[in-house]
Amino acid sequence: MHPNIGKSSRIDTLFNSNDNAFVVAFDHGILMGPIDGIKDIESSVSKVVQGRPDAIQVTPPIAKVVSENFLGRNSPSLIARLDTSNLWRSSPEPNSGYYTDLFSVKDAVRLNAQAVVTYLLVGFENDHDEAYNLKILSKIAHEAHDYGMPLIIEPLGIAKGYQAVRDKDVISLAVRMATEVGADLLKVDYTGDKSSFREILDSTTCPVMIRGGPKTKTLADSLQMVSDSLEMGANGIVFGRNIWQSDDPTKITKVYSDFVHNNIDLDEALKQLE
């Protein structure tokens, strides 16, 4: 028997029969405000859920607002965001920038979440901020273990001006730190090429899903990134803006799901969107 059957059961629920997961993230509002695509959060989530993703990622208060989407045998799983930062906010711009936890694993348990997600930010101007982030993650990791709740950590390198750093060595460092602090799953930036991304996967013992980041210039660019990452051994994707800022969120959700789970090729995926 697995030493933590609750955690194992929840992880199994997240992943499809081909061991890949397709998650759509809607937690951008607490970071960036009511940006295009999620101004009407209830409508946005409803459209995406019709496309059958494996899970929806939101903050606990928004989970309550859109709770009907998590009811029923074929409904998506809930992943609860527990923390936040103002590092990516454009207006008003942050001064020194902050990171803080907001919600607890217990909040997620009350919502019947299948996982919780947190940031690990590497590269703060003040080392004390990075230490605080690690201390919070350690607390959450212990609490998650006690409740049998999978912990997804999103390890990100940040640079002056708070831009995400996609340098292989920085990502590798952040990924290994997240693994050591107690992650069960990771949500990681794609490094831009298959060889360097394979090195990222080799630096952790955790299953890795890639994050979408900013909306790509073309759908083909986004799908190619997904294809390359899955080929190298990633276990799925966690996308947001590339889904709900599209012209047809329901249709594009179905296509990404087919792409992740049924191994359709790039040309077939693009044809489905014509």
C-alpha neighbours within 13 Å on the C-beta side of residue 173? 12
> Residue 115: what are its φ and ψ, rounded to 5°?
-165, 165
Helix (H/G/I), strand (E/B), else coil: 24: strand
Identify which of 120, 121, 129, 113 has the alpha carbon closest to the alpha carbon of residue 70: 113
Does 187 participate in catalysis according to the annotation? yes
By CB atoms closer than 10 A (0-12, 13-18, 19+), residue 78 is buried
Contacts of 268 (CB under 8 A, 6+ apart): none
List 7, 168, 187, 254, catalytic entry? 187
- CB atoms near residue 19 (< 10 Å): 11
List, as one string, the DSSP characters of 50-69: TT--SEEEE-HHHHHHTGGG
* HSE toward the beta carbon, residue 262, CA cutoff 13 A: 10
Local structure of 26: helix, strand or coil: coil
Which residues are 156's β-sheet partners? 121
The Cα 236–Cα 15 span in angstroms is 9
Q: Is the peptide bond before 92 cis (omega within 30 degrees of 0)?
A: yes
Which are the catalytic amino acids?
187
